[in-house]
Structure 1
Amino acid sequence: MAVNVYDTANQLEGELRQTDEYMALQAAYGKMKQNELAYTMFKKFQKLNIELQQKQMQGQELKDDELKNAHDLAEKVGQFKEVQELMEKEKGMSQMMDDLNQIITKPVQELYTD
């Protein structure tokens, strides 16, 4: 009997949306968006992080001023209670995703374990 893991993955995706962790993250994100300044700073920080990650993936060395700018922006963004709450909820979601990844990759891990 052939198994379609993509069907299972799509089912899991739908079920993830119903978890307490996802709903808490979604609520925290919505709350943050209501604070226009917090949301604007958060989006700016996200954009900067993506730009820096892309540079690193292309093998470019990050300059000291870029790292300082990112650090300074992270400090500013982190001062908003809405962003702090969002980060807390992200931790819960991340833990669940890590647990799921361990379960999903278990067959491959076991294959290479003697």
Structure 2
Amino acid sequence: MTVNIYDNANEMAKVLKQTEQYLNWESAFDAIQKDDEAKKLFDQFQTVQMSVQQMMQSQQQPSEEQEKEWDTIASEVQKNTLITALLSTEQALNTVLTEINDIVTKPVSEAYSKIRQ
């Protein structure tokens, strides 16, 4: 019997879109897309996140100016209820995705744990 794991993964993606966590995330994401101010701020926030990640990966230190800019954007993000709602729903969705990943990778984890015994 031939197994196409990608068919199962695509089915899982369809099922994920039906979960409460995904639907809540999608609703929060759509709300930001419909609000020009929130969308602009969220785009700035994502740009900052990417910059921070790149700097961390290359082990660079941000300048004082960059830190001030990042702090300002982070402060504005915390005040925006649409963005905080999105971040909250994103966290719930990521929890589900982590749990799914743990289930999918369980055979590999179990194999490695047998080696350590």
Q: How far is 1:65 from its partner?
A: 2.9
Among the aligned pairs, what percent are the same residue? 28
Q: How far is 1:86 from its partner?
A: 1.0
Q: Please, what TM-score do these two structures have when normalized by structure 1?
A: 0.88
CA contact (8 A) 1:16 1:22 kept: yes
Letter paired with 1:82 = L
Q: How far is 1:82 from its partner?
A: 0.8
Q: How far is 1:64 from its partner?
A: 3.5
Task: Say whether residues 1:112 and 2:101 are aligned partners.
Answer: no
Distance 1:93 1:12 in 2: 14
Moved over 6 A (4+): none
Q: How far is 1:29 from its partner?
A: 1.1
Task: Say whether residues 1:47 and 2:76 are aligned partners.
Answer: no
Gaps of 5+ in 2: none
CA contact (8 A) 1:56 1:62 kept: no
Q: Please, what TM-score do these two structures have when normalized by structure 2?
A: 0.86
CA RMSD of aligned residues (A): 1.6
Gaps of 5+ in 1: none
CA contact (8 A) 1:32 1:83 kept: yes
Distance 2:68 2:101 in 1: 33
Aligned residue runs from structure 1 range 22-101, under 5 A: 22-101=22-101
Q: Secondary structure of the equivalent of 1:89?
A: helix
